[in-house]
Amino acid sequence: MTRAMTTTTATTTVESPPPPKRPKLHGRTFYQSIGSPKRIVAPMVDASELAWRILSRKYNADAAYSPMLHARLFAETEPYRRQSLRYAPTSTSASHPEALLSYDGDHRLDRPFLIQFCANDPQHLLAAAKIAQHHCDAVDLNLGCPQGIARKGHYGAFLQEQPDLIYKLINTLHKELDVPVTAKIRILDTKESTLAYAKMVLDAGASILTVHGRRRDQKSHNTGLADWSYIRYLRDNLPPETVIFANGNILYNADVEACLEVTGADGVMCAETNLYNPAIFMPPTASFEERFPRVDVMVRQYLHIVRDLTFGEGNPVVELSKEQYRENASLTCVKSHLFKLLHAVFTRKEYHYIRNTLGKATGHKFDEILKLANELEKVVEEQLKLTPETPEQWDEIMKEAGGPGADAKILRIPWWRCQPYVRPTPQQAYENGAMQKSKKELSVASREGSKESKRELDTGSTASDSKERAPAKRQKLEEPQLEQIKVND
């Protein structure tokens, strides 16, 4: 998909030769060539697009992945490619309106950059990767998506039972591409089976192995905690030159350093928490202000990046056609990003009007969304006049963290600052109605209830005996394993 430069004479048009191939590196040599990144923005569907990657890099991210792209659609469908990948401007003249616009893989501000695909056909994957390889440092294969759409499309974590296919997918890219191939996996049921899986992926040619410390069935309210011990096991049992990125259990800045220490990984990848607080990768030594920026400041910075990418720095904001809007990934993702950045604000009823205004805003009328930033800034400034912040208050909040790695502690961050979303435990989700038990779970519960009733009748238990036992039974159900469950990175 690169555009060859041409020179024109009076009679002929001669194509200039393609740029020379870069030497293809592998494994740790490749990792070192891109600066040995330690803080990585994860590939996220409709979320890790160019504008968001630029924002995250401003807050200390070392590398970033594209959103997960569908290999077959990318290879075969031009409109999907235009929506998925923003190409370098064809003009280099500063007078051209698009000349200074940034693009995916821009060497000025979007590297290191890896493009991720989901696929179940080696040829579809290769065709897509050959188009994308000129815009990135490596191509990544998604083997970790646990969602229903991945089950239906038969990709992501639902390829785990087909090691031969996984090997062929990775090995085809390893042999045919000009850039390295990497892969992201989830852990399996045992450490031994996960190790065998990882070895197969590496033997196929993967230069970097990203390991999400959750199993395929750990998602939504059943997310639970990622198991870092699996990643440590891989680190201890794979060759030292293996490059590993760890993924899962990152809520606060201190968790990044704790994860590196506990797992021995080379880098830490963060997904969902990055969406709620793009400053997640700021070092633990940074100030409270730097680690938990004000939401109005973050929103304005983000919207200015989207504005400049869309219209050009200093150019007026104009209404776009629906086609222009659909083909601008950084613009189509704006509302989704804002709802996450402002989730703590929207827990307060007095600011539901901002949420409702955002919900009604249309992306191709970007000026409507820019006005929200003004309203948000006014709201936060009014709050700070009522309750001024002091360094002493910040220190008091941070004392509750309990030091690096105390990942079960939930900090009481003020609503006007960026902060992680903390999922309720499965038990809490059942109680507040956010999750319902499946027919299978209800059937099992019903059978167990029938057995319990039969035992009570058999032993001559009275109704009063049953009531006396009930409190202890509820207490056992309500006894939390942790204060909260981490988000599903």
3-state secondary structure the chain: CCCCCEEECCCCEEECCCCCCCCCCCHHHHHHHCCCCCEEECCCCCCCCHHHHHHHHHCCCCEEECCCEEHHHHHHCHHHHHHHCCCCCCCCCCCCCCCCCCCCCCCCCCCCEEEEEECCCHHHHHHHHHHHHHHCCEEEEEECCCCHHHHHHCCHHHHCCCHHHHHHHHHHHHHHCCCCEEEEEECCCCHHHHHHHHHHHHHHCEEEEEEECCCCCCCHHHCCCCCHHHHHHHHHHCCCCCEEEEECCCCCHHHHHHHHHHHCCCEEEECHHHHHCHHHHCCCCCCHHHHCCEHHHHHHHHHHHHHHHHHCCCCCCCCCCHHHHHCCHHHHCHHHHHHHHCCCHHHCHHHHHHHHHHHHCCCCCHHHHHHHHHHHHHHHHHHHHHCCCCHHHHHHHHHCCCCCCCCCCCCCCCCCECCCCCECCHHHHHHHCCCCCCHHHHHHHHHHHHHHHHHHHHCCCCHHHHHHHHHHHHHHHHCCCCCCECCCC
Look at residue 395 in the predicted model and tell me its pLDDT.
84
> What pLDDT score was predicted for residue 397?
84
Is residue 83 in a domain?
Answer: yes
Residue 75, Cβ neighbours under 10 Å: how many? 23
Helix axis angle, 191-204 to 228-237, nearest 10°: 60
User: Is 260 part of a structural domain of the chain?
Assistant: yes
Task: Say if 194 falls within a structural domain.
Answer: yes
Classify residue 56: in a domain, yes or no: yes
431 shares its domain with 282: no
Alpha-carbon distance 380 to 415, whole Å?
A: 9
In degrees rounded to 5, what are phi and psi of residue 439?
A: -60, -35
What's the pLDDT at 448? 62
Q: For residues 183 and 142, what is the distance between their CA atoms, to the nearest angstrom?
A: 6
The structure tokens 């633990």 sit at 284
Residues 6+ apart with CB under 8 A from 2: 18, 134
* Maximum C-alpha span of the chain: 106
What is the distance between the alpha carbons of residues 344 and 364, in angstroms, rounded to a whole number?
26
pLDDT of residue 270: 97
Tell me whether residue 333 is one of the annotated catalytic residues: no
Q: Indicate which residue of 118, 136, 145, 259 is catalytic.
A: 145
Radius of gyration of the chain (CA): 25
Q: Is residue 371 part of a domain?
A: no
- The pLDDT of residue 253 is 92
Instruction: Please identify, among 286, 311, 327, the residue that sits at the C-terminal boundary of a domain.
Output: 286
Six token digits for residue 259: 């994860």
Domain count within the chain = 2
CATH number for position 281:
3.20.20.70
Q: Is residue 369 part of a domain?
A: no
> What's residue 387's pLDDT?
92
Q: Which of 286, 314, 347 is the last residue of a domain?
A: 286
pLDDT of residue 225: 85
- Per-residue pLDDT 10s for the chain (489 aa) are 433 333 333 333 333 444 556 679 999 999 999 999 999 999 999 999 999 999 999 999 999 999 999 999 999 999 999 999 998 876 555 455 565 689 999 999 999 999 999 999 999 999 999 999 999 999 999 999 998 899 999 999 999 999 999 999 999 999 999 999 999 999 999 999 999 999 999 999 999 999 999 999 887 666 778 999 999 999 999 999 999 999 999 999 999 999 999 999 999 999 999 999 999 999 988 999 999 999 999 999 999 999 999 998 888 999 999 888 988 999 999 999 999 999 999 999 999 999 999 999 987 889 999 999 999 999 999 999 999 999 888 888 877 654 444 445 688 899 999 999 987 666 666 676 666 666 666 666 666 666 555 555 554 444 444 333 333 332 332 333 333 434 445
Last residue of a domain, one of 239, 255, 286: 286
- Which structural domain range is residue 453 located in? 426-478
User: How many residues belong to the chain?
Assistant: 489
Question: What pLDDT score was predicted for residue 23?
Answer: 79
| Structural domain contains residue 213 | yes
In a domain, 229, yes or no: yes
